[in-house]
Structure 1
Amino acid sequence: MSEQKPEQVQLEARVSDELVGKRLDQAIAQLFPDYSRSRLQGWIKDGCVSVDGDQKRPRDKLLGGELIRIDAELERIEHHQAQDIPLDIIYEDDDILVLNKPAGLVVHPAAGHADGTLLNALLHHSPEIAQVPRAGIVHRLDMETTGLMVVAKTIQAQTELVSQLQERSMGREYEAVVQGVMTGGGVVDEQMGRHSRNRQKMAVVAHGGKPAVTHYRLLEKFRAHTHIRLKLETGRTHQIRVHMAHINYPLVGDPLYGGRSRLPKGVSEGLIRVLRDFRRQALHAKKLELWHPTTGELMSWEIDLPADMQQLLEALRRDLRRGEEVWD
């Protein structure tokens, strides 16, 4: 990427009567709603916010009538390289981009994945997105999870989408194939936190975790597996994988939480081969629903299951028919 200077942000507003007595960080969140609370708080701490020319702390109360000025910079993502990686874009306008993420694509650079990620692809597809923190990525899918993701193309869109995630007004539904035969749908409402021994894993914890709620319902039952639909209220790391394993229905192919495969009696060699070759968690972000950050329109997208999950389901259906023929 060619080097570009950070964008200068210069804003000012006067404290109105309804903000009298408010903390500085609370007031500027209302005065400058295009920027996230965390970004505004960072600017206060960095000395980029003045109140009648003076520096104030985030918790300092306002009297009313003060002039608040912000003089800050928006850093660009210079240390990540734009890479020409194909994207399956479902929808795009000036504010947002919705894509169908394939299995194997890491969302954000991290240890072991310095490039070749979705972020690198976004920087190539929309160079201006370098101005947006994390290249507009507001939520993630695990590397081997497929399906729908939304990306913000402007800071204003990012702030609004993050707000929808926090307020749980963004709808996200998934489909998965789990081990075991469920008898009905339900909800898992269990706090989650880092696993006490394996720091690469998350876990249901009794104390000190973050709230996590997963709803699930049955779509199709097989001899030793179930195809389910899931809806998230929260978006914790590995939430579906951890919650399903917690209730003893781990996802097929899950290398972290799956445990040993459960096979029905008299299983065919064909199904054994399909299950053995399915080397990722059988999880797909099927549906995404959100309020457009600029127009306010309610928008919704739904995407077919990827080929490998369709092949898995077909193998399970063949095994079910074979089992029924044995008993006839």
Structure 2
Amino acid sequence: MGNGHIAFRHQVIKEEDGRKVRQILSNRFRFSRRMFRRLRNENGMVKVNGENVFLTSRIMAGDVIEVAMPTDEGEGEGTPPQPIPLDVKYEDDDLIILNKPPGIVVHPTRRHPEGTLANGLAYHWQERGEFHLIRPVTRLDRDTSGLILFAKHAYGHAFLAKQMEKRRYQREYLAFVHGRVEQEKGILDGPIRRVEEGSIIRKVSFDGVRAVTHFIRVRQWKNASLLRLSLETGRTHQIRVHLSHMGHPIIGDEMYGGSGEELGMNRQALHAGFLSLIHPLSEERFSLESSLPEDMATLQEKLDKE
């Protein structure tokens, strides 16, 4: 990617012979209506065999379509950059994956207008001579650590969001919970809603929004268990609410009935340790893992000594 554009290239196959450029781009790259509008407003962005064409042009097998899709450069002020340390696990022209530490908010809010992961990301890109709007594909609570994914452009964000809808994007979390979980694995299926209007606290309730969490027990101790969890849906505080409702709140999660002072945990012992996704341009699947952060690793050592 360069000069504010994302490059797409496709050689037309026999089954696509005679189709319109727009139809092929829609099927091959899943361009949205908004993206097609941008292409119509920019001259010379779509070429076939090196020549400018209209989206309504019909093409033949063997033809090469090339698209230069405008990116975010010049679109608004973006998030104010701040020099905040980032642990970059992976980055290319289309996305970036960070290993988020606990205690930092992902995006500026009224209560946290600065000092967020997004501010640090804007600074990181500024130092590289890049500009991108902050497009988180997933979010993590302030005190949840682990892998978090951002798209660098609208196409990548739309592609990855669609993956999540189709459950092709996989996320796994590790959580230390109170008590011995007797089941080796299970499904937590309970609708979630706010406890009351305006509250940030959620609860399982029949009139809530559908929420499904899968878990596998990894280890057990005398009064604690380590679970690996995956999300079928992505509700706010979903894992925390479901585990609390199950009777096994996360160690350190005081909001949902857990405690951690005696074990040295001053936040919920929840870590996003694994993700697997299909890349928006190459469409190849790749996976990343993140080991336990220092406080959770220390917690495990303490549990091993009990």
TM category (shorter chain) comes to 0.7 to 0.9
* Aligned Cα root-mean-square deviation (Å): 3.2
Segments of 5+ residues of structure 1 without an aligned counterpart are 1-6, 8-17, 20-26, 44-48, 51-64, 66-71, 262-271, 320-328
- Aligned partners of 1:246, 1:176: CA distance in 2, in Å? 15
Contact residue 250 and residue 270 of structure 2 kept, 8 A:
yes
Residues 215-269 of structure 1 show CA distances to partners (whole Å, capped at 9, x for unaligned) of: 111111111111111111111111100110111111010131124x4xxxxxxxx
Q: Are 1:317 and 2:304 an aligned pair?
A: yes
**2:252 aligns to what?**
253
- Aligned partners of 2:91, 2:177: CA distance in 1, in Å? 33
- Aligned partners of 2:257, 2:227: CA distance in 1, in Å? 16
Segments of 5+ residues of structure 2 without an aligned counterpart are 5-18, 42-55, 57-69
Q: Which residue of the other structure, out of 291, 300, 306, is the alignment partner of 2:293?
A: 306
**2:218 aligns to what?**
219
**Aligned CA distance change for structure 1 residues 210 and 318 (closer, same or farther; 3 Å):** same
- Aligned partners of 1:73, 1:313: CA distance in 2, in Å? 44
**Structure 2 SS opposite 1:256:** helix
**Aligned CA distance change for structure 1 residues 36 and 122 (closer, same or farther; 3 Å):** farther
- Aligned partners of 2:241, 2:144: CA distance in 1, in Å? 14
**Aligned CA distance change for structure 1 residues 253 and 225 (closer, same or farther; 3 Å):** same
Q: Which residue of the other structure, out of 265, 270, 274, is the alignment partner of 1:283?
A: 270
- In the TM superposition, what are the counterparts of 1:199-210 in structure 2 within 5 Å? 199-207=199-207, 209-210=208-209
**Aligned CA distance change for structure 1 residues 318 and 152 (closer, same or farther; 3 Å):** same
Quote the offset at 1:180 in angstroms: 1.2
What is the aligned-residue identity percentage? Answer: 40
Q: State the TM-score, normalized to the length of structure 2.
A: 0.74
Contact residue 78 and residue 132 of structure 2 kept, 8 A:
no
Quote the offset at 1:77 in angstroms: 4.8
Larger radius of gyration: 1
Contact residue 274 and residue 315 of structure 1 kept, 8 A:
no
Amino acid aligned to 1:169? R
- Aligned partners of 2:100, 2:71: CA distance in 1, in Å? 32
Amino acid aligned to 1:107? V
Quote the offset at 1:30 in angstroms: 4.8
**1:292 aligns to what?**
279
Counting matched residue pairs gives 258
Q: State the TM-score, normalized to the length of structure 1.
A: 0.70
- Aligned partners of 1:187, 1:129: CA distance in 2, in Å? 43
**Structure 1 SS opposite 2:254:** coil
- In the TM superposition, what are the counterparts of 1:88-237 in structure 2 within 5 Å? 88-127=87-126, 130-132=131-133, 135-184=134-183, 185-196=185-196, 199-207=199-207, 209-237=208-236
Amino acid aligned to 1:191? P
